[in-house]
Structure 1
Amino acid sequence: MKLMKLHFLLAFILPLAALAQTKATITIQNNSIVNRKESVVAIKWKTVLSSFPQIDTANFVVINSITKKQIPFQLEHHGQTAIQNLLVQIDIKAKSSLHLFIQKGKPELFTAKTYCRYVPERKDDFAWENDKIAFRTYGKALEKTEGDAYGYDVWVKRTSKLVLNDRYKRDDYHIDHGDGLDYYHVGFTLGAGNMAPFVKDTIRYSGNYHHWKILDNGPLRSTFQLSYDTWNAGGIKVKAVKIISLDAGSQLSRIENIYTFDDNNPMPVVVGIIRREKQGIIGLNEQQGIMSYWEPASEKDGTTAVGSILSTPANKMWVDKEQLLAKTSVRNNEPIVYYSGAAWDKADQITNSKQWQDYLDHFNQELQNPLIISVNELSKIQK
């Protein structure tokens, strides 16, 4: 009789144990008052492994518990051999939670929504894009030649398709062939949200980037690293490394700068946005660290909006003859993170200055109210 009971208990317990090893649940909570749409969320891979140690990285899927459908995901390495994060793209309403299942299965082929690459055929450009917008910055081969520029460039687009390779191949990206173009002028300014030291009340521009490294390249997040040679920033020798990432669905890039210099004191830096001669709509919110610019409309090319959000206190914001500037400070060899990006009214998603300001305010609220994420064995959830 006892033997029969033991067999019965084993028959009941073993399937549950197997279930816990082949399926886990991600719980995502949004405790803020803002809805999130197309948000890319990072779940630490170590947390996934603790609940699903037998996971096969080539044969698993992420399922929305309500729709029962697969959702896009990415294994983020951030330049390392080991996986760092599981990235998923979700919609989640304010004051709500979402459950996702991780389980064995064959993942669907999802369209890549982000991309970056080094462009040697165009004098060392480095370009990056997502399903909303595109950007580029300039390398050593362009330095001190006609067309050289210091800041970030914007390539506007009105398609969710990735366009960088086609535009470079066509070598005709200053004309709109139906999906957008490059009509943004940078010149010797910080362009669309680059950062530089601000020493003795003067912007101390670096040379163009010298070395590059891709850390991840889609489908949901592309991240790369740019290194700059030492330059004289008003009597201070400075080196810089910039790590830039762009998520699917976002108008803004995350930019992490690490400045190395021989000084124990903080070094002032500025983020800048080039301004145009004609009247545009400018927003400077020092308290929230948000700088926005709705450019004057081009007769044929529409309107570009540019904005930046600081994660460190803004000491001052102002407008000079050439650009909008936001001043903060950084310490030697300590990362400083901010966000910069753009939008185009012809994409028909953000079509006026209020919508652009609302977008930046909403983005900032998301930064201030991160989602709460937990991963559990399914059997624990069922209890």
Structure 2
Amino acid sequence: MKFSHFILMVCVLPSSLKAQNKATITISNNSVLDRKETVAAIKWKDIVASYPQIDTANFTIINSKTKKQIPFQLEHKGQSTIQNLLVQIDIKAKSSLQLFIQKGKPEKFISKTFARFVPERLDDFAWENDKIAFRTYGKALEKTEGDAYGFDVWVKRTSKLVLNDRYKRNDYHIDHGDGLDYYHVGYTLGAGNMAPFVKDTIRYSGNYHRWKILDNGPLRTTFQLIYDSWNAGGIKVQAIKTISIDAGSQLNRIENVYTFDDKKPLPVVVGIIRREKAGVILLNEQQGIMGYWEPTFEKEGTTAVATILSTPAKKMWVDKEQLLTLTSVKNNEPIVYYSGAAWDKAGQITNSKQWQDYLDHFNQELQNPFIINVKDTSITKK
């Protein structure tokens, strides 16, 4: 009897040992800037290398300090396989944050980014995050009285997603408490669109004709706009624009690929429409930052717009219609820049100095990316 009891004990002990598989992500901010509401991307291959048993439908990300779950997203970039794990975090300057990946049921987090094709409004394509919203114009609007070439801004003063409600209401030029569309684009580049600049002339394309959503929230939305070929001052050009918007950011990341039959680089400009009344203009060629604090409209408030290049700015200037930054691209090679907007009635950026500070801070963040390390921290518990 004692012997059989001993055998039972031997059999039970191994089954009482539970292996808790998990990995630890260390995100280091070595800059002198505090980083708030920042979306960080961790390569999925690094996650799998440290946590090969991970179940993509049954894991959580835990903040090591608060012990609470944080929002995350599996980014595909239009691929069938996962490319990155996205997390939204705050990190003080010269400090690090540890996140634990472990098995468990993730909480339901509110989506903070969204984009969609809007066929009911003449083929608009619209996108937003918890700070600001944008749209561009499609094929159905071409060559009509209401056509426009640039990016449009929909200002908002709520963290909620508003696009669907505004289109459903079909009354987005009036502020119903969450913002409105009072931004005028016309035949300009609007809020930071890009176009070829050949023989000292902006060579506008037609509107986008095809689109593709690569990821759609909750922390990052990415989509492509495809433009048919057009005559850019004697050069046949095609374009694909890949636009990403992150939760918490006032600016989009825009990656353009121009295809053209020329060995020479193609000159291109990024533009911001200028208003008749005076505003505050920022032209920083050295840093590639072009900013505009628009004149205030009595009822609607003030919109701020900006672009930041990742390639050298050859020239910046202001003409009667637009603020312009000149750079160049090579055939079939991507060019990356950032453009976006803010609204003073949202209550976070309320004057031109704060807008300039935001842009400087954003640019410094680009120059000082996070250092990310993933390691296996599986433990065995009794």
TM range (shorter): over 0.9
Partner of 2:317: 318
CA deviations 1:201-229 (Å, max 9, x no partner) are 10000000000000000000000001000
Partner of 1:374: 373
Query: What's the CA shift for 1:146?
Result: 1.4
Query: What's the CA shift for 1:379?
Result: 4.8
Partner of 2:58: 59
Partner of 2:291: 292
Partner of 2:42: 43
Query: What's the CA shift for 1:15?
Result: 5.8
Write out aligned runs for 1:100-179 (5 A): 100-179=99-178
Partner of 1:228: 227
Instruction: Give the letter aligned to residue 283 of structure 1.
Output: L
Partner of 1:183: 182
**Contiguous gaps of at least 5 residues in structure 1:** 1-7
Partner of 1:345: 344
Q: SS state of the match for residue 278, structure 1? A: coil
Q: SS state of the match for residue 57, structure 1? A: coil
Give TM-score, length-normalised by structure 2: 0.95
Query: What's the CA shift for 1:233?
Result: 0.3
Instruction: Give the letter aligned to residue 272 of structure 1.
Output: G
Runs of 4+ in 1 over 4 A off after TM superposition: none
CA deviations 1:296-323 (Å, max 9, x no partner) are 0001000000000000000000000000
Instruction: Give the letter aligned to residue 42 of structure 1.
Output: A
Partner of 2:5: none
CA distance in 2, matches of 1:228, 1:267: 17
**Contiguous gaps of at least 5 residues in structure 2:** 1-9
CA deviations 1:156-212 (Å, max 9, x no partner) are 000000000000000000000000000000000000000000001100000000000
Q: Does the alignment pair 1:241 with 2:240?
A: yes
CA deviations 1:129-177 (Å, max 9, x no partner) are 0000000000000000111000000000000000000000000000000
Instruction: Give the letter aligned to residue 365 of structure 1.
Output: Q
Instruction: Give the letter aligned to residue 286 of structure 1.
Output: E
CA deviations 1:6-26 (Å, max 9, x no partner) are xx9xx89x969x34xx10000
Partner of 1:331: 330
CA distance in 1, matches of 2:184, 2:89: 35
CA distance in 2, matches of 1:294, 1:323: 13
CA distance in 2, matches of 1:15, 1:340: 54
Identity of aligned pairs, percent? Answer: 81
Query: What's the CA shift for 1:83?
Result: 0.5
Partner of 2:78: 79
Query: What's the CA shift for 1:362?
Result: 0.2
CA distance 1:15–1:259, shift in 2 (3 Å): farther
CA distance in 2, matches of 1:15, 1:89: 34
Q: SS state of the match for residue 350, structure 2? A: coil
Query: What's the CA shift for 1:378?
Result: 1.1
Give TM-score, length-normalised by structure 1: 0.94
Instruction: Give the letter aligned to residue 149 of structure 1.
Output: A
CA distance in 2, matches of 1:72, 1:362: 24
Q: SS state of the match for residue 168, structure 2? A: helix
Q: Does the alignment pair 1:217 with 2:223?
A: no
Instruction: Give the letter aligned to residue 43 of structure 1.
Output: I
Partner of 1:68: 67
Once superposed, what is the RMSD of the aligned Cα atoms? 1.5
CA distance in 2, matches of 1:173, 1:158: 14
CA distance in 1, matches of 2:276, 2:109: 43
Instruction: Give the letter aligned to residue 287 of structure 1.
Output: Q
CA distance in 2, matches of 1:28, 1:251: 23
Q: Does the alignment pair 1:303 with 2:302?
A: yes
CA distance in 1, matches of 2:144, 2:120: 15
CA distance in 2, matches of 1:379, 1:33: 33
